[in-house]
Structure 1
Amino acid sequence: MLAIPVESDSPGTMSTKLFGNAKFFAFVDPLTKQSTIITNEGCGNGIQTANYLLERGATSAVYGFLGDGPFHVMVRGGMSVYWLGSETMALSEAIDVSLTQSLVRVTPENASEYLDPGTAAGACECGCTHG
């Protein structure tokens, strides 16, 4: 399942920029493109969000802004992580873009180029220890 952070649980929702602060995630079946929107029980904390997605069975995720801590939790958990870009888009567009295989896969080797927590200080604020 592909996890996409979204703004609301209503039809026609948009992707959202901040991964850990996303109130909802669309879980998308890559074979059918069908999505189910779930409430993010880890909202407000990137590490808790990453763990929640793993618990719910996500195998990949996309993001606009993401810190080191949640990224490493997902990668260590076996998830593939892709940079969606820093602009929001309609969920239907985010699904199409995500499934075209054209997004950059973020790995520990290229993470410094693509990770940005999107906070005012430019640093992760989830309280985790990175590494």
Structure 2
Amino acid sequence: MIAIPVETDTQDTMSTKLFGNAKFFALVDPLTKKSTIISNEGCGNGIKTASFLADSGATSALYGFLGDGPFHVMVREGISVYWLGKETMSLDRAIDVALSESLIRVTPENASDYLDPGTNAGACECGCTHD
């Protein structure tokens, strides 16, 4: 399942920029392109959000802004992480982009080029230790 942070719990929603503060995620079956919108039980905390997505069966996740802590949690959980870009788009478009295999996969080796928590300070504010 592909996890995409979205603004609302409707199918005509838009992707949202902030990963940990996303109120909802679309979980998308890559074989059927069918999506289910779920409430983010970790909303407000990127690490809890990352753990919630792992528990929800996500095998990959897209993001616009993401800090080190949630990224490392997803990597440890076996979730592939992809940078969607910093502009929002319709859920349908985000699904098409995800399935086109044109997104950049973020790994520990290239993470410093693609991770940006999107905070005013430019630093992760989740309280993690990045271990």
Q: Same fold (TM over 0.5)?
A: yes
Q: Distance in 2 between matches of 1:36 and 1:42?
A: 17
Shift of 1:130: 1.1
The one-letter amino acid of 1:68's match is D
Q: Would you say the 8 A contact 2:11–2:37 is kept in 1?
A: no
Q: Distance in 1 between matches of 2:54 and 2:43?
A: 14
1:110 is aligned to 110
1:42 is aligned to 42
SS in 1 for 2:4: strand
1:125 is aligned to 125
1:13 is aligned to 13
The one-letter amino acid of 1:8's match is T
Q: Would you say the 8 A contact 2:29–2:35 is kept in 1?
A: yes
Number of residue-to-residue matches in the alignment: 131
Map 1:58-97 onto structure 2 (within 5 A): 58-97=58-97
SS in 2 for 1:93: helix
Q: Distance in 2 between matches of 1:8 and 1:127?
A: 27
Residues 26-45 of structure 1: CA deviation (Å, up to 9, x unaligned): 00000000000000000000
Q: Distance in 1 between matches of 2:11 and 2:51?
A: 26
* Structure 1: unaligned runs, 5 residues or longer: none
Shift of 1:74: 0.2
- Percent identity between matched residues is 79
Q: TM-score normalized by structure 2?
A: 0.99
The one-letter amino acid of 1:118's match is G
